[in-house]
Amino acid sequence: MASPGAPSASSMDGPEPPHHAAPPNVPTKEWFDTKGLDYETIYGHNEGLLKAVDKLTARLRPGCRVLDLGCGTGRPVAHTLAARGFQVHGVDFSSTMVSLSRAAVPSPHGVFDCAHLLDWAPPSKDQKYGGIVATSSFYELSREQSETLVSRWRDWLEPGGAALLMMGAAEDFPGTRPALYDADGRFARGIPFRFMGDDCFLYLFTRAGWRALLEEKGGLVVREHWVERFVPSEKADCDDEVNSFFIAEKEKTVE
Ligand SMILES: C[S@@+](CC[C@H](N)C(=O)[O-])C[C@H]1O[C@@H](n2cnc3c(N)ncnc32)[C@H](O)[C@@H]1O
């Protein structure tokens, strides 16, 4: 089977901007394009994620606009948010995923853009979001790219708004060897992980690293953090995931 990080035909045509250069063997846009509904079959009923959406919505201004970064198929997150009266703006670099999201949450309840997270910006400088969600969608980003992206949340999230981040943490994966960590111990590069029938390498902050990302780069206050294991069916051919969930808020007094 092809490596999920194998270069695509287009990426071999010439140099791409540096922020498109995925580290080797992480799941790429082309890889997600082939997954679509198979991804939803395995991960679309994650009870832990649904519980986290409950906790987030309890903190959101009713009916506000919520940004979903790496929205996948739109289920369960975007669909659940829309069903509760929130307006969803999703972004994903996989055209397959964006088509599925548009079907799951039709306009005007959902708007979905096909773009790399680092290339995307709100449609106008004045557009703010009452909530931001990012669930399992930063594994393709380097540390520096995640830091750049979360720094932008300072402009995108309205005062009093809330964010939900669900990501695996480096120390919770059995394949994370000491040599993989950055010198400050907050990030590990190339963690082996079996993902939907392929051997991948993930790029993850530690629990403390994810918290620092939200607080130091995003200017947010972490209100809740908890950890839950997700066990995919045997047929899925995926390793178990231990996910860290963070609910964070932007203080009302902060500009
Ligand atoms: C593991 S799935 C998670 C989907 C959804 N957030 C969920 O929790 O069900 C990751 C999603 O993020 C998207 N994604 C990953 N890296 C991205 C990037 N750099 N730019 C845009 N989308 C990205 C993938 O296409 C995929 O749909």
Task: Give the tens place of pLDDT for each residue, 202-215.
Answer: 999 999 999 999 99
Residues in the chain with pLDDT values less than 70 = 1-24, 254-255
Q: Is 96 in the pocket of ligand 1 (CB under 6 A)?
A: no
User: If you ran DSSP here, which 8-state letter would residue 213 be given?
Assistant: I
Q: Report the percentage of the chain scoring pLDDT > 70.
A: 90
Residue 91 Cα to ligand 1 middle (Å): 8
Q: Whose CA is nearest to atom 14 of ligand 1?
A: 70
Cα–Cα dist 170/210, whole Å: 10
Cα 28 to Cα 30: distance, rounded to the nearest angstrom: 5
Q: Two tokens at 109?
A: 């309840």
Q: Does residue 72 have its Cβ closer than 6 Å to ligand 1?
A: yes
* Ligand 1 near 101 CB (within 6 A): no
Q: Return the best residue to mutate from 39, 92, 243 for the ligand 1 pocket (most ligand atoms within 8 A of CB).
A: 92
Instruction: Give the pLDDT score at 14.
Output: 46
Asked if residue 219 lies in contact with residue 251, where contact means CB atoms within 8 angstroms, the answer is no
